[in-house]
Amino acid sequence: MEPAETTIGEYLIHRLYQLRVQHAFGIPGDYVLGFYKQLDESRIKIINTCDEQGAGFAATAYARVRGLGAVCVTYGVGGLKVVNTTAQAYAEETAVVVISGAPGVREQAGNPLLHHKVKEFDTQLKVFQQLTVAQTVLDNPATACREINRVLGAALCYRRPVYIELPRDMVTVKIVPQEEPLQPPDVDREPFREASREAVDMINAATQPVIVAGVELLRYGMHHHLQELVEKTNIPVTSTLLGKSAMGERHPGYIGLYEGGLSREDIRQYVESSDCIVLLGVLLTDLDLGIFTAHLDQGKSIHATSEKTSIRHHTYPGVYLNGFLLGLLQADIRRRETCETPHAPAPTPFHPAPDTRITVERLFQRLETFFDDSTFVIADTGDALFAAADISIPRAAEFMSSAYYASLGFAVPASLGVQLALPTLRPLVLVGDGAFQMTGMEVATAARYHLNPIIIVLNNSGYGTERPMLDGSFNDVYPWRYARLPELLGAGRGFDVQTEEQLEVALEAARGYRDGFCILDVRLDPYDFSPALRRMTSVLGKKVK
Amino acid sequence: MEPAETTIGEYLIHRLYQLRVQHAFGIPGDYVLGFYKQLDESRIKIINTCDEQGAGFAATAYARVRGLGAVCVTYGVGGLKVVNTTAQAYAEETAVVVISGAPGVREQAGNPLLHHKVKEFDTQLKVFQQLTVAQTVLDNPATACREINRVLGAALCYRRPVYIELPRDMVTVKIVPQEEPLQPPDVDREPFREASREAVDMINAATQPVIVAGVELLRYGMHHHLQELVEKTNIPVTSTLLGKSAMGERHPGYIGLYEGGLSREDIRQYVESSDCIVLLGVLLTDLDLGIFTAHLDQGKSIHATSEKTSIRHHTYPGVYLNGFLLGLLQADIRRRETCETPHAPAPTPFHPAPDTRITVERLFQRLETFFDDSTFVIADTGDALFAAADISIPRAAEFMSSAYYASLGFAVPASLGVQLALPTLRPLVLVGDGAFQMTGMEVATAARYHLNPIIIVLNNSGYGTERPMLDGSFNDVYPWRYARLPELLGAGRGFDVQTEEQLEVALEAARGYRDGFCILDVRLDPYDFSPALRRMTSVLGKKVK
C-alpha cells in the first residue's frame, strides 16, 4: 500500500501511524519545523503542550494505553527537557519514541557553534544512550528505513523508550520505503514447554496457590489473558502497586493489593503463606515490596518477566512473560473450588457530615463510589497514589501512576495522553499541590484540545509525603487558588472544597459538566495522611535520618 | 576558622558559602532530605521553586551574578529535570553546582530496584558527565574534602557546571576538613608576555582598532577591566549579543551591538573595516555572528578566550582571557584621539498615541526610557531578546539572556536568581507567551520570597520567531489571561495592555508598586515582529525549508 517513493520524515510518520500512534506531543523549534510541517500534513495530530516536560509525560501515558507513543521536540532545548520523562518511561517500561530535530548534516560540518548545541553535536545522543534501549541518527538515506524499523522494533519488544534524531536537512530526502517486520524472530519453543510443564506441576500440586499480577501485564497488554487464566483456574489473584489494575478490582477472583508488610494484614498472610506464588510481570521494586518488608519465599515462587522466567531457584533465560503466560493458558491446570480468600471491604456509603472538614480518608471513601466504568484514574506520586492504592478500579488497565520511578507531576499531563488514546473515557486525576505546581498548567492543553479531566488537588500545603520523614519549611508549598484556574484559562470549572458537603456538591457538578476540565481544590490539613501513607513513611523515614 | 571536625554535608555548605553562595535553589525529596535539613540549619537559604526546571534556571542566573550558584535536588526525578538547565549553563559558561541526593551507599549494595532509579545507580552520573566539567560521588569520607575542592575549583576555573552526588548515608558522616586552594596553580607568565607584546604592537600600529566584547568578560567578572581598558586607550568598543552589557551601553566609548550582517549598517562597516579587531571573550556562535554573516578578517584579529589567545593565524595555548586582559591594561597602549564612530540614536521620547494598538517597536521605544540604574533587564529567547538587543543598558552586567543555547523559559526563573543575588535591583523580565507558559508560574516563587520583578509578556499568541520561517497551527499558543495571575496567586498586580496609553499607565503603576511582582499582558499582533527579528528570521528561515 505504500508509495514507491517517500521521504525519511514521511516514512517515520507512516510507520508510527501503522503502530497506532495517532497523536504526537511536543513543541516545535527551528531544527524540527520541517518535520512538524510533515506531521501537520499527515494523519498524526500534533498536540502542543505548554512545556516539553508535559509532552514527555503525555506521550508516556499515551504509550501505556496504545503500546507506543511519540514525543517530538527540537534539538537541545527540547530534547534535554524530556530526559526525566524518558527516564521514567525506561524505569517503568513504556515504549516512547523520542523524536528530536537536529542541525542539518551539512550544517554540522566544521563543528561550528550552532544555537542549542551543548558541547559536541552528539552530546544529546550520548545522554539518551543512558535512557533508551535503542538510538539512531537518521543521517544516511541508504539506511534510514532499516534504522527506523530497528529502533521502533526495539521499543515494542522491550517496552522501553527509544531515540530518533532527525537532522533537518534529511527530513525531505527521498528514499524507497522498505517494510520489514518489527517483531523479533521466533524463539526456541522447547524452553517454554519445559518451563510450562514444571510450573503446571507445581501449581497443580499446591494447596493454596496465588497469582501476583505485575506491571508488565499492563505494558504488554496481557491483562486480558490474566483474567482468562484466573477464570479458567479459579486461582486467587493479587496485584502490586505498580501493577495495580492489571486485574479488574471488582472481579471475584481479586483479593486486593499486596505490598509486603504494608499490605492489609489478611492479604499479607494469604500471600506469604501460599505454597505456590505465581508472579507475572512483577518488578521487585522497593515500593512494590513494601520497602522490602515482603516475605516471598523464592523456593515456592514462579516468577515470569519480560526477560526470563525463574522457578524456585533456577532460571529459564529467554522464557519471557508473554509466551509463558500463553503456555499456562493452554496447559492443563486444574480448576479449584472457590475458597475463603481475603476480599476488599464493601465500599462505605458516603453520607456527607454537615460542616465537617474533609480528610484524606473521607475523600477516598467518597471517591470509591464516584468511579464508574467510564472513569480512568490517574494518581500522581505521594499520598494521591498511596491513598488511591486501596480503592477498587472496576475495569482492568484503567488506572495509571508512576509507582516506581515516582516522578512528581506525571498525572495532569498523563491525563492528556490517556484521553486522546481512549476518547470514550474521562480521566480522574488525583494530584498533590506540590506535584500540581510542577506540571499542572498543562490543564491549559486540556482546554486547548477540548478534553475534560476531573482534577482533584490534594492540597495539604506541602510535600506531604516528606513531612513525617523529616520536616522543615522546605516541605511547604506556596498556596495557589487552584479553583481560580478557569478564570486564567477562560475554560473549565473550579471548586473550593473544605467540607464534606462541598465535596459532594463539587463532585456532582463535575460529573454533570462535560464541556471542559474541572478542578477541585480540596483543602486538607498539612498533617492529615492516608493510613497507607502513614505506614509507608514510617518505614521510609528511618532511612532518611 | 573552621572546626576541627565537621560532616561531609556541612563541609560542602561551608565551602559554597565561602564562595558567595547564600541561596540554594531546588525541591526536596527523600534522598536529599537530610542535606536539606543541614542547609536549613546553615547560613545558606533554601529557595523552593515550583519545578526543578525553575530551580536550575534560577541557580544559573544567580551564578552569573555571584560567580557560583547551586541547585539542590533529589535523585533521578530531581536531577534529570535539571539536565536542560545544566546544558544551558555549560553552553553559555556558567558555574552551577548541581547537588543531587542519592540512595545511601549501603542501600545500593546488591543493586536493588530502589524508587527513582532509572537503569543503573550511576545512570544519572553518566548523563551529567556529558554536561559538566567535573563530577564526583561523595561516597568516601577519606576523599570527600578533596573531591569537593577539586570539583568546585573546576567550576570556578572553567565557569561551567559541575555535578556532586551525595548518597544520603554520607551526609552526616564526620570528616576532618581540609582547606585547599580552589584556583589552579600559577601558569608560565612568559607566553602571556609574548602575546601581550605582539598584541600591543599590533594595536598601536592600527589606524582604526575596535574592541569586540564577548560573554566571557561577564562570566569571569572582567567587565570592570574592559571599561578600564577602553577609558585608558579610547578605543571604541562593540559587543556581541551574548556579551551584551559587558560594556555599559551609555558609555561614550560604546558604539552598539555587532551581529555581522544583522548589525546596524554603520556598526557593521566600522567593525569589518577595522585593521585591528580585538575580540575579548567572544564565542563564535551562529547568533553572535549574525548567522555567519559576519566578516571578521582573522588576519586582522586578536582573539582572547578563556582557553587560548589567537593573534592573526597563530595561537598561544594557555594564554587565557583574564591574564591577557590584565596584561593589556599594564602595557603601553597609546591613547587615541576621540574620533567619529557609530553611536546609538538618541532615545525617541515616547508620547502614547491615543487608541493606538501597541506594537513591538513602540513597546521597546517606550522601554528604552523606562529603565533606570536600578533596573536589571532579563530577556527570554525569541523576539524578547532580538528586540531588546537594540536598547541601551545603562550599566555593565545588568542584562541577561540565553543568547546562544537559547532555551525558552529562562527569564522568569532567572529573575529569582538575579534579585536574590542583587537585592537592590529590580528585574525587568521580557518574555514571550510561549516561553512564559513553560516556566512562568515561577512568579509564584517570586511571591513566596517577596521579590518584585516586572514581567512584560510579549503576547503574540504563538512562537513568533517561527512564524516567518514556517508557519502552521503548531506555532499557536493557547491564550492565558496573564493579567489574572495575581488572583490565582493572591499576590502581585496584573495589567492588560492593548494600546499605547494602557502601556503607559501600566508601566507607571508597576514602577510605583514595589510590594510584589507586576505582570503586563501586552497583546501584540501575531505577525508583528521587531525589525531585528525580521532580519534574523529571514536568514534562519532559509535553513528550515
**pLDDT tens for residues A404-432?**
999 999 999 999 999 999 999 999 999 99
Residue A77 lies in a domain: yes
Q: Which of B175, B199, B233 is the last residue of a domain?
A: B175
- In this structure, are B17 and B61 located in the same domain? yes
Using the 3D structure, point to which of B130, B148, B175 is the last residue of a domain: B175
For residue B119, the chain A residues in CB contact (below 8 A) are 90-91, 130-131
DSSP string of A76-116, one letter each residue: TTTGGGSHHHHHHHHHTT--EEEEEEE--HHHHTT--B-TT
* ipTM for the assembly: 0.97
**Is A526 within the bounds of a domain?**
yes
In degrees, rounded to 5, the angle at the alpha carbon of residue B129 between the alpha carbons of residues B123 and B130 is 105
On whether both A73 and A169 belong to a single domain, the answer is: yes
Specify the length of chain A in residues.
545
Question: What gap in Å lies between CA A197 and CA A419, rounded to an integer?
Answer: 42
The C-alpha cell at A265 is 494484614
Of A36, A131, A285, which is closest to B118 when you measure between CB atoms? A131
| Pair (B56, B141) in one structural domain | yes
Query: A254-306: per-residue pLDDT in tens?
Result: 999 999 999 999 999 999 999 999 999 999 999 999 989 999 999 999 999 99
Residue A433 marked as a ligand binder: yes
Over the stretch B354-408, which tens digit does the pLDDT of each residue have?
A: 899 999 999 999 999 898 889 999 999 999 999 999 899 999 999 999 999 999 9
Q: What is the DSSP letter of A478?
A: P
- The sheet carrying B254-257 orders its strands as B254-257, B237-239, B209-213, B276-280, B301-304, B308-311, B314-317
Instruction: Classify residue A348: in a domain, yes or no.
Output: no
pLDDT tens, residue by residue, A352-386: 998 999 999 999 999 998 988 899 999 999 999 99
The amino acid present at B285, given as its one-letter code, is T
Any known ligand binding at A460? yes
List pLDDT tens digits, range A189-241. 999 999 999 999 999 999 999 999 999 999 999 999 999 999 999 999 999 99
A183: in domain: no
Residue B329: CB partners within 8 Å, gap ≥ 6? B225, B228, B229, B232
CA triple A14-A64-A260, angle to 5 deg: 160
Q: Determine, yes or no, domain membership for B63.
A: yes
**Is the same domain home to A159 and A199?**
no
Q: What is the pLDDT of residue B183?
A: 67
Whole-angstrom distance, CA of residue B413 vs CA of residue B415:
5
Domains in chain B, number: 3
- Average pLDDT of every residue of chain A: 95
Q: Is A462 annotated as a binding residue?
A: yes
Chain A residues near residue B51 by CB distance under 8 angstroms = 53, 409, 437-439
CATH number for the domain that contains residue A321: 3.40.50.1220
Whole-number pLDDT of residue B185: 63
Handedness of CA A84, A85, A88, A90 (dihedral sign): negative
Domain that holds residue B14: 6-175
Tens digit of each residue's pLDDT (9 = 90 or more) over B99-157: 999 999 999 999 999 999 999 999 999 999 999 999 999 999 999 999 999 999 999 99
Q: Which of B108, B140, B175 is the last residue of a domain?
A: B175
Regarding whether B402 and B321 lie in a shared domain, the answer is no
CATH number at residue A485: 3.40.50.970
pLDDT in tens, A258-272: 999 999 999 999 999
How many CB pairs below 8 A link A and B?
251
Q: Is the pLDDT of residue A348 over 90?
A: no
Q: Do A113 and B477 touch (CB under 8 A)?
A: no
Residues A163 and A195 in one domain: no
Domain check: are B225 and B292 in the same one? yes
Q: Which of A34, A80, A406 sits opposite B544 (nearest CB)?
A: A34
> Residue B354 burial by CB count (10 A; 0-12/13-18/19+): exposed, middle or buried?
exposed
Query: CB of B98 within 8 A of CB of B51?
Result: no
Q: Using a pLDDT cut of 90, give the percent of chain A over it.
A: 90
Nearest chain B CA: its distance from A410 CA (Å): 11
CB A266: neighbour CB atoms within 10 A? 13
Q: Are residues B171 and B285 in the same domain?
A: no
A157 and A12, same structural domain?
A: yes
CA distances from B36 to A471, A474, B86 (A): 10, 8, 21
Asked, for residue A339, whether it belongs to a domain, the answer is: no
| Pair A170, A207 in one domain | no
Residue B441: closest CA among chain A residues belongs to which residue? A437
Which of A90, A293, A544, A545 to mutate against chain B (most B CBs within 10 Å)?
Answer: A544
Q: Tell me which residues of chain B have a pLDDT lower than 70.
A: 1-3, 183-185, 544-545
pLDDT at B474: 97
CB contact under 8 A, B286 and A112: yes
Find chain A residues with C-beta within 8 A of B37's C-beta: 470, 472
* Domain-located, residue A57: yes
In a domain, B65, yes or no: yes
Residue A503 and residue A465 share a domain: yes
Same domain, B145 and B202: no
Chain B interface, mutation test: which of A23, A71, A81, most B Cβ atoms within 10 Å?
Answer: A81
Chain B positions touching A39 (Cβ under 8 A) are: 474
Q: Is the dihedral of CA A132, A134, A139, A141 positive or negative?
A: negative
Instruction: State the amino acid at position B295 in one-letter form.
Output: H
